[in-house]
Amino acid sequence: MTQKHFGYKSKNHFFTFLLCWTAYASTYVCRLNFSAAMPELQANAVFSETRIAAVSSVFFICYGIGQFVSGLIGDRADTRRLVFAGLFISAFCNIGIFCVHTYVPLLLFWAANGIAQSMVWTPILKIASLNFDASTRQKFGIDMSTTVPVGTLLSYAVSLLTLLFLPWQYVFLTCGLFELSVSFLWLICTRGLFIPQEHRTSAGVQKADAAKVLGGTFKAAVSGGVLLMLIPIVIQGTLKDSVTQWVPAFFAGNFGSDTSFSLLLTMLLPIVNVTGAYFAKAIHKKLHSEIGTSMVFFGISILFLLILKLFGTKSMVLALISMAGVTNCMFAVNVMLITMVPLQFSKLGNVSTIGGLLNAVAYIGCGALNLLAGKLLEAQNGWDNLFWLWIAIAVIAVAVSAVCMPMWKRFCKKNAE
């Protein structure tokens, strides 16, 4: 009987997971620290809401574009070095913001941070594709999903501790130094640990020229309904990241909470969200469909958003419960659409490309809608308008998911390992 190591088949498999988990969790520390510092920027009139939204959106857009490019590269390049480069450059960008405090340099560093962080996720998916069998990949995907809430919690915790004693600029320094240490940990500990791309082609697929690979990927994406699936993927990205980003500002603006208390409230969300992946796993076992599972959670999120719209500005408790419910649902959807869907392409050898495409669309769409959020919040009844926007797009996600379900079911049956 094979010895299990925390559910993995060998020590190498477990350490591969652990290092991938640590690397990706660290990116959230240097991504959500801007959201943590946002109330300080607003309270001290450093930047307007529109400028703050622009900085956030440029990250999402650059991250999204970078995801697509790194997805294409990740199916062909040295995944280990690609992850290290992403972590190292992201850390450098955060430290750069500490050194330069004016708007334009901050915007440029945050854009570069988005590009750097886009180099991490798709290579990690490729590592899973090359090193694990189908059942282990599913466990890897569910376990990796906990990086989002834990990374979010860690980012807010580091930021909160920093803001208790130092000005907002130091948030970027402390988070940057943390990610820098993780980048060197990755470089040292992954040497010789797992199978890199150049030593093996995925699932026996031989290397082909780029045009054929892209053509096959596009054909598979069309037949499986993946292109249509991009609509709910944009929506889950918007609801997951936009809600999380604006939570500190919402509590500070509507209930007069100071920055520290707003961050403490926000830190409750990722604690709740840890359960999202396992709720998704339970529903997925019943439905055997990533799209069907996503549709269920989009439907539940609509109920939470309605509560938020009706009572959120009147009750801090209901607002917190509603936002936690929405982000928990979107976290479950994220596991299904961003992690599990790309891993279904392992047999075709284009996991990284599909993962990059899906993440790219999610973040570019989120960036565009986040700009709209900034405009809505500067108008009269800004929060009400934003809540109605979130409700409308969640309804659209349910409708499109229903259309995608039969196409995805046929694709999975055809490409089962």
Which stretch of 26-40, 202-216, 228-242, 343-357 has the lowest confidence by average pLDDT? Answer: 202-216
pLDDT at 310 over 60: yes
264-306 pLDDT, tens digit each: 777 777 777 778 878 888 898 888 889 999 999 999 999 999 9
Percent pLDDT > 90 in the chain is 25
Summarised one tens digit per residue, pLDDT across range 373-387 is 777 777 777 788 888
pLDDT confidence bin for 172, thresholds 50/70/90: very high
C-alpha span between 277 and 262 (Å, rounded): 25
pLDDT band at 188 (very low <50, low <70, confident <90, very high): very high
Q: Write down the domain spans for the chain.
A: 11-193+209-414
Residue 207, pLDDT score: 47
Taking only the tens place, the pLDDT of each residue in 70-107 is: 877 876 778 889 999 999 999 999 999 898 877 888 88
pLDDT digits (tens, 9 = 90+) for 348-368: 777 777 888 887 887 777 777
| pLDDT score, position 202 | 43
Average pLDDT rounded to a whole number, residues 151-161: 87
Taking the C-alpha atoms of residue 6 and residue 140, their distance in angstroms, rounded to an integer, is: 11
Sign of CA dihedral 172, 178, 181, 186: negative
Residue 196's pLDDT band (boundaries 50, 70, 90)?
low
Angstrom distance (rounded) from CA 73 to CA 79: 9
For residue 343, name the pLDDT band (cuts at 50, 70, 90).
confident
Average pLDDT value for residue range 2-17? 80
3-state secondary structure of 266: helix
Dihedral angle over CA of 255, 98, 30, 322, nearest 10? 10
Tokens of 182: 């993780």
The Cα–Cα gap between 162 and 1 comes to 49
pLDDT at residue 120, rounded to an integer: 93
Could you read off the pLDDT of 104-154 as tens digits, one per residue? 888 899 999 999 999 998 889 888 888 888 778 878 888 888 888 888 888
Fold assignment, 11-193+209-414:
Growth Hormone; Chain: A; (1.20.1250)
Average pLDDT over residues 178-204: 76
Mean pLDDT (the chain) is 82
Cβ 389 vs Cβ 326: under 8 Å: no
Confidence of residue 204 (pLDDT cuts 50, 70, 90): very low
pLDDT of 44: 61
Amino acid at 35: S
Q: What is the pLDDT of residue 195?
A: 66
Residues ≥6 apart with Cβ < 8 Å to 253: 42, 383
> How would residue 209 be classed by pLDDT, with cut points 50, 70 and 90?
low
pLDDT band at 32 (very low <50, low <70, confident <90, very high): confident
DSSP state of 203: G
